[in-house]
Chain A
Amino acid sequence: MKGKLGWRAILVLAVLVASVVYLVPSISGNLPLWWSNVLPKDKVQLGLDLQGGMHLILEVESEKAVETQLGIFADDIKRALREERVWIAGDKVQTSAGAMELVLKNEEDIEKLKEFLEKNYPEFSIEETRKDDSGVVVTLAMSADEQKRIRQFATSQALETIRNRVDQFGVSEPDIRPQGEDRLLIQLPGISDTDRALKLIGKTALLEFKLVDDMGDLPAAEKGDVPPGDELLYEVRENRETGRVTKTPVLVERRSLLTGQYVSDARVQIDNQFNEPYVTLKFNAKGARLFERVTGENVKRRLAIILDGVVNSAPVIQEKIPGGTARITGNFTMEEARDLAIVLRAGALPAPVKVLEERTVGPSLGKDSIRKGFISMIVGGLVVILVMAVYYQIGGLIADAALLLNIVLIMAALAAFGATLTLPGMAGIILTIGMAVDANVLIFERIREETRLGKTPRAAVEAGFGRALVTIIDSNVTTLIAALVLFQFGTGPVKGFAVTLSIGIVASVFTAVFVSRLVFDYLLLRVRVKRIPV
């Protein structure tokens, strides 16, 4: 037994040293260089509810991406069919959810279409054909696999784009990850201007260049009679002083000549004359060629710059513009211009996103929560320590030491596992403080019982620990089951609670059963106390 005492003491000491090592980075602000090279430097991470910040769940409206893709396919198929000399009635190919309608002039062309699809577009199949006055209406359906692929791609691309934007916005330690099929979880700690962040993340940022149709009948279009091939958009201006918003209608050609995907860089610059910020765009090589051609072919016409369906400006093309740069003006604030540059650089979202859940906590509330959490922890802890010491005397002090070690272990484990401490997590620690003494109480009560039966101190301690152990394990396993279920189903702060509770349970069993046993054995074997100290 004496030899055993030695290795047990070494084990406890090792655990203690290890936990202190893990805790140091969280406590001291400045670590010496040699420390961070060799030893762990991860701090206990604070949850958003404690440090302030923003938590978002976005839904990528990926069906819109399917629709867009379908539109692109429709144009391609139409063009290719023309080359195959298949006559299609009308100009439009109608598209709907995952399917498009083609109107063939000749019935014989159905076979040709089938062959063509098999060869070139295997992801489409003919779902239905029916006769109509205009010809044979054929419904082409996109395969479910292809739709799924587009959806998945839209979600992962949205994730990438948002990650890019957030990185450029400058948030330290953002957490952006997919959740389920089409949801994104975004956590931005320490963000104070949440509205701005939300706008930056949620903006689709689809940039398009379209020619203005100055010949079209604008008043008629406003009444709903838009010329074929055109669409009616608005230029929105807000007067900063009065807050009045003016909307000017602009009739543009539906076809976009150039999109944001050719943008290689976007920067904020300041207009010398008016001292106003604006954004300059730089196109990549292909974009620059396209831009040069478009501007060359349309001199004296107006080119509308459209962002998310809103006309930003529609300047007249004075001459052919080589070199591939354009500018977006508007009465931007510096911040707005900067954010616009970020979204243009990061690219457009493949589909619009919708905010499903938003939680923001201000930094001052977080600090309050930490302070109050600590105060209640200290007050509650002190009362428990006092009660134990008074009730069980020496044994109580041993239990108190085990309790303190328990808290150190929980914090160290949080740091070591990279777990996050949340407000409910702090509550979990506080609750653990109350429950942690339970194991010791069970043991001490047993020791008292055994002593009453007339056993010697050593035998009583032996029996006390031995018999209480089964009960301690039984009773903690059920709490652990509840905590693990909570971990599995919980999100955010609740998960934090489950983590501290689980760690607390394991740590309290270790400290009560192993550490205080060691102290008892030491007292009995080395100090040779005559009386049981409980």
Chain B
Amino acid sequence: MELIKPNINLDFVGNRKYAYILSGSLILLTIVFLIVRGGPNFGIDFAGGILVQVKFNKETSTGQVRNALESASIENTTVQDFSTEEGSEYLVRIEQEGVDVTEFKDRIQTAFKKTFGEGAFEVRRVEMVGPKVGKDLRQKALFAVFYAILFIAIYISGRFELKWLMSIIMAGALLVAVYLASLINISVVWLIVIALIVTLGLCWVLRLRYALGAVVALIHDVIITVGAFSFFNKEITLPIVAALLTIIGYSLNDTIIVFDRIRENLRKGRRTDFSKTINSSINETLSRTILTSGTTLVVVVSLFILGGGVIHDFAFALLVGIVVGTYSSIYVASPILLALPAADEKGGMVSKRKR
């Protein structure tokens, strides 16, 4: 069976303008949403707070749960509906410092006992993260994203352009930049922004175009996924950061397969336009791209629908990330190669042909 005809030749590179417009507006929308919502919606993992998951035996509405809490004068809580066809289930969350967990849990429990009766509900999960730990976890998560991007940039520039020396120089420059930035005691978010700008700048100056394409694509994917979270007002928790890192891995996986093909076609040394080589490489791998993205999407959709509430947002992040990651490897990572001529474009090609 074949989905894609072998001799297909869609003009991906030619249409890249539209893709840039689409990507640009999605990123812009993300920024707008983040500004409107006042930054990412961090869950208690990062912001600190208490979360209690309660399951009721009988059908219970959000309003009833709210009323029960209000009647016990428990304020500043958010109640999230977690219900499935199996029963009513709610997440009660309070983002407040200095609240005693045991006390808060007791208060909720007494409030529910009063309203719904003894044994009408079950506390299924309690999470409390103190502000200190929340801050630590946030730092750790951001550093994880930072190091992932750093190592990947190094690997790609080393592997694809055989410029290990340059990638080591880049790593050194990056570490120096980050060290200098950390001296002036800025937040990790800015540290990462600076690191990313330095990474992209170095890729540009050192003409590491494959690394540039890959890093731009994965930043693109992470930003848009964060934007989707902000749009649906979903919380960013530790597992979501794990999902973002997985998206980084996945997006690259996809990108590298196209890059490998581009390199291979370049090595064949046909005297064609670089943009044509890119386009035909995308087309040659298209069948694989669709099939693999398809199977991955199938399992993630199944996780999203059947996996249950606890894993729901995690699956959502993967879902968005895989769609965006597949798109970006075709429309973002590859066309960006055109933006930058390789440092040894002529020399490299000639010496290879002589061989």
Asked if A257 is an interface residue, CB under 8 A from chain B, the answer is: no
- A376 and B306 form a contact (CB under 8 A): yes
A368-B308, A384-B299, A485-B144 known; A424+B314 contact, CB < 8 A:
yes
A355 x B148 contact (CB < 8 A):
no
Q: Is the CB of A470 within 8 A of B260?
A: yes
Q: How large is the interface on B (under 10, 10 to 19, 20 to 34, 35 or more residues)?
A: 35 or more
- Let me know if B246 is at the binding interface, CB within 8 A: yes
The interface residues of chain A, by DSSP majority, are classed as: helix
- From residue 271 to 330 of chain B, which have CB atoms closer than 8 A to chain A? 284-285, 287-288, 291-292, 294-303, 305-308, 310-311, 314-315, 318
Does residue B249 face the partner (Cβ distance < 8 Å to A)?
yes
Closest to A383 in B: B298
Contacts of B301 in A (CB 8 A): 380
B242 within 8 A of A: yes
Nearest chain A residue, comparing its CB with the CB of B301: A380
A423 at the interface (CB under 8 A from B): yes
Known interface pairs A362-B125, A364-B124; A486-B253 also in contact (CB < 8 Å) = no
Interfacial chain A residues near B130, Cβ < 8 Å: 354-357
Interface range, A side: 35 or more
What is the bound-complex CA distance between A497 and B132, given in angstroms? Answer: 24
**Interfacial chain B residues near A497, Cβ < 8 Å:** 239, 242, 246
The 0/1 profile, CB within 8 Å of B marked 1, for residues 140-180 of chain A is 00000000000000000000000000000000000000000
Determine the chain B residues whose CB is within 8 A of the CB of A498 once the complex forms: 242
For the complex, give the distance between the alpha carbons of A449 and B288 in Å: 12
A474 touches B128 (CB 8 A): no
Verify A471–B257 contact, CB threshold 8 A.
yes
- A384 engages B260 (CB within 8 Å): no
- For A474, give the chain B residue with the smallest CB separation: B256
A440: shortest Cβ distance to chain B, in Å? 10
Q: Give the residues from 251 to 267 in chain B that come closer than 8 angstroms, CB to CB, to chain A.
A: 252-254, 256-257, 260-261, 264
Whether A388 contacts B295 by the Cβ 8 Å rule is yes
Q: Which residues of A contact B308 (CB under 8 A)?
A: 368-369, 372-373
Cβ of B159 under 8 Å from chain A: yes
Is B198 in contact with chain A by the CB < 8 A criterion? Answer: no
A352 to nearest B CB, angstroms?
Answer: 14
A195 on the B face (CB < 8 A)? yes
Q: Is the C-beta of B79 less than 8 angstroms from some C-beta in chain A? A: no
B152 within 8 A of A: yes
Decide: A423 and B311 in contact? CB cutoff 8 A: yes
Other-chain residue from B239, B253, B260, B300 in contact with A493 (beta carbon distance below 8 A): B239
Question: Would you call B11 an interface residue if the criterion is a C-beta within 8 Å of the partner chain's C-beta atoms?
Answer: no
Q: A431 near B126 (CB under 8 angstroms)?
A: no
Q: A383-B302, A431-B299, A431-B300 are in contact. Are A358 and B127 (CB under 8 A)?
A: yes
Residues 36 to 80 of chain A near chain B (Cβ within 8 Å)? 49, 57, 59
**Which residue from B102, B128, B245, B295 sits with its C-beta under 8 Å from A384?**
B295
Query: What is the CB-to-nearest-CB distance from A388 to chain B, in angstroms, rounded to a whole number?
Result: 7
| A387:B152 contact, CB within 8 angstroms | no
How many residue pairs between the two chains, A and B, have CB atoms under 8 Å in the bound complex? 230
Residues of chain A contacted by B147 (CB below 8 angstroms): 485, 488-489
Alpha-carbon gap, A493 to B3, bound state (A) = 39
Q: Does the CB pair B256–A359 fall under 8 Å?
A: no
Q: Which of A361, A390, A474 has the most CB of B within 10 A?
A: A474
Residues of B within 8 A of A355 (CB): 101, 128, 130
Find the A residue at minimum CB distance from B159: A474
Instruction: Let me know if A365 and B298 touch, CB within 8 A.
Output: no
How far does the alpha carbon of A409 sit from the alpha carbon of B288 in the complex, in Å?
25
For B218-250 the 0/1 string (1 means CB < 8 A from A) is 000000000000000000001101100110111
B122 at the interface (CB under 8 A from A): yes
B122, B143, B291: the one contacting A364 at CB < 8 Å is B122
Contact residues, A175-224 vs B (CB, 8 A): 194-195, 198
Which of A387, A445, A476 meets B288, CB within 8 Å? A445
B110 shortest CB reach to chain A, Å = 11
Contact (A57, B126) CB under 8 Å given A433-B299, A475-B256:
no
| Any A CB within 8 A of the CB of B69 | no
- Least Cβ distance of A181 to chain B in Å? 12
Inter-chain contact A380/B298, CB cutoff 8 Å: yes
- Report if A280 contacts B (CB, 8 A): no
Chain B positions within 8 Å of A479 at CB level: 246, 249-250, 252-253
List, in ascending order, chain A residues with CB within 8 A of B13's CB: none
Whether B242 lies near A481 (C-beta < 8 A) is no
Q: Does B1 contact A (CB under 8 A)?
A: yes
Identify which of B241, B260, B305, B315 contacts A427 (C-beta below 8 A). Answer: B315
Residues B1-39 near A (CB distance < 8 A): 1, 3, 6
Q: Are B306 and A387 in contact (CB under 8 A)?
A: no
Query: Known: A357-B130, A376-B303. Contact between A435 and B253, CB under 8 A?
Result: yes
CB of A434 within 8 A of CB of B297, answer: yes
- For the complex formed, measure the closest distance between the CB of B304 and the CB atoms of chain A, giving whole angstroms: 8
Chain A 452-465, CB within 8 Å of chain B: the 1/0 string? 10000000000000
B284 touches A449 (CB 8 A): yes
For residue B68, CB closer than 8 A to chain A, the reply is no
B85 CB → nearest A CB, Å: 12
Q: Does A477 contact B (CB under 8 A)?
A: yes
Cβ of A375 within 8 Å of any chain B Cβ, yes or no, is yes
Kindly list chain A residues whose C-beta atoms are within 8 Å of the C-beta of B252. Answer: 475, 478-479, 482
Q: Is there a chain B Cβ closer than 8 Å to A418's Cβ?
A: no
**B83 within 8 Å of A by Cβ?**
no
Q: Is the CB of A427 within 8 A of B250?
A: no
Query: In the assembled complex, which residues on chain A have CB atoms less than 8 Å from the CB atom of B123?
Result: 362
9 A-B residue pairs with Cβ-Cβ distance under 8 Å, sorted by A, are A430-B299, A431-B246, A435-B292, A470-B260, A475-B252, A481-B151, A481-B155, A485-B245, A497-B239
Report the 9 A-B pairs with minimum CB-CB distance, sorted nearest first. Answer: A380-B299, A434-B296, A482-B249, A479-B249, A380-B302, A489-B144, A372-B308, A434-B299, A376-B306
Q: With contacts A364-B55, A485-B245 known, what are 19 further pairs, Cβ within 8 A? A: A354-B130, A358-B128, A365-B124, A372-B311, A375-B306, A376-B299, A376-B303, A392-B1, A424-B239, A427-B315, A435-B296, A441-B292, A448-B6, A478-B253, A479-B246, A479-B250, A481-B249, A482-B148, A482-B252
* Chain A residues with a Cβ under 8 A of chain B: 49, 57, 59, 194-195, 198, 354-362, 364-365, 368-369, 372-373, 375-377, 379-381, 383-384, 387-388, 390-393, 423-424, 426-427, 430-431, 433-435, 437-438, 441-442, 445, 448-449, 452, 467, 470-471, 474-483, 485-486, 488-491, 493-494, 497-498, 501
